[in-house]
Each structure stands twice: as structure tokens, then as C-alpha cells.
Structure 1
Amino acid sequence: MCLKLEKELIYDRNENYLNITDENQYDFATLIYTVIMALLHLLTEKNYYNIFLEVLKKGGSFFLDVFTEHKYNVFTESNNWYFRNNGGFWSPEGYIELNQNLNYDGYTSLEQTTIITIKHPRVLPLFHL
């Protein structure tokens, strides 16, 4: 089934969404939950408000994907570590990556990643509530 679009869609925008200054521009916005949680340490209250509210037109909708009960039930606790000599997803410089997955009561889990570099060690907690 093919739907005719009455407006041209903008899909080729490539920029850091933490710095978006658009206001009242969009009818619909979506964000991947794990992405926002991984970047939580970078966000300020203003960034949150901007990302979730200011970019939408009045009456606009925001979609945030979340995890299901099934995701929680198949989530396994684990501890792993990796040495990324040439950098990787979390840093362009070499780093050690420590991962810990924990289950809690009430359909809550934690994927905690600790990144250790020479200059910028940091912990990235991803809680799934």
C-alpha cells in the first residue's frame, strides 16, 4: 500500500540533536530511549525541555520507544570487559570498556558501561524502567 504525501519530508538532516534550536517546527518527533539515556550525562534541563517540547508545533506528538515486559524477562545479568585499542563507539581514542547488566524488581534493569580512557573516564548508566 502506498500513501500519497501532501508535504515534502525532510529526512537528510545530519546534526547533533542536543544542540537543536528549532522551535515549533515539527508535527512529530521520535527518540530512541537508549540513545537519550546514554547521553543523559551531557544534557541540561534546558536541553531536555528543548528536545521534548520546543521543537514540536502546538498539538504535535512525541514518540519515545521503551522496553517491554518481554525485554525484561529475557534480559540476562552479566559482566564483560573489552579493550578498544583503536577507539570505538564511545571514544575516538583507545579505551577499556567495562559492562555490567543487572536485574531489579519491578521490571527495572541496568546496563552500566564504564569507559576508561587516559583523559576522560566516565560511567554511563542505562536504566530500563
Structure 2
Amino acid sequence: MNPIKTESINVDKVEDVRQVEQEKKQEHVGTIKFKPGHTLYEVNTVEHTIELATFEEQTVAFKDVANKPKANGFGILGFKTDKPKVILSGLPTTTKQLIKKKNCIYISALNRKNLLKKLEKRGVIKIVKAG
């Protein structure tokens, strides 16, 4: 019979090879106010592509603005302009959050032709006319 050999583990050779999950943090970069009729475009500066920006819709609780009068439920309130308004409080609202990608800039423009003009003004692209 062969005797069983026991060896002690050398601490210098032991390594932790597990993959650690990195926490994904969302940080507020800025806000974009939508202009009526405009489209938000995503311009990839590495691949030189133009696409429509993608959004994620979220439902959030209603937030009262500090400088506006608050309503308890359903009511008619008068403002400084003496125009009555109906305010519903406590209702959930939906917001859109932009899905931001690496190496992309986001520009609001009326159409693609207008977007190319804006990019040329900012120096991102250079348009050369043929002929």
C-alpha cells in the first residue's frame, strides 16, 4: 500500500481568481429640453454613424414644483395671471431617460440635414462638396 502524503498549502501560491462584479453607477450628466418638432440624434464619433437616440421610460411619483401653488387632490387654483388652472396632484407621471452609449454625442435637430449643419459648425465633421 502506498501511504497518503499530505502537503501544506503555500500561502504565496494561493490567488483569488473569482471575477468581481463591478457596480454600475448612473451619474447625472445633464438635461436636454425638448424643442417641439425636434429629434434627438446620437452621433458616434468613433464609427462616424448617425442614429436616433434611444430612451427608457420610467414611471415616477408626481413632484410639486416649489414656486407653484400646491393642490390637495383635484382643485381649481388662480395664478398671478388670474387664469384659473386645474391641477391634479398625487398622480404618477412618466419620464424618459436617455440610454447613453460610449463615444457618442447627442444633438437635438429638426432633421438630418440640419444636424449635419450643426456638426459642421461645431467642427465635428467637415463637409466637402464634390465637383
Task: Identify the TM-score tier after normalising by the shorter chain.
Answer: under 0.3
More helix by share: 1
More strand by share: 1
TM-score, normalization by structure 1:
0.22
Larger radius of gyration: 2
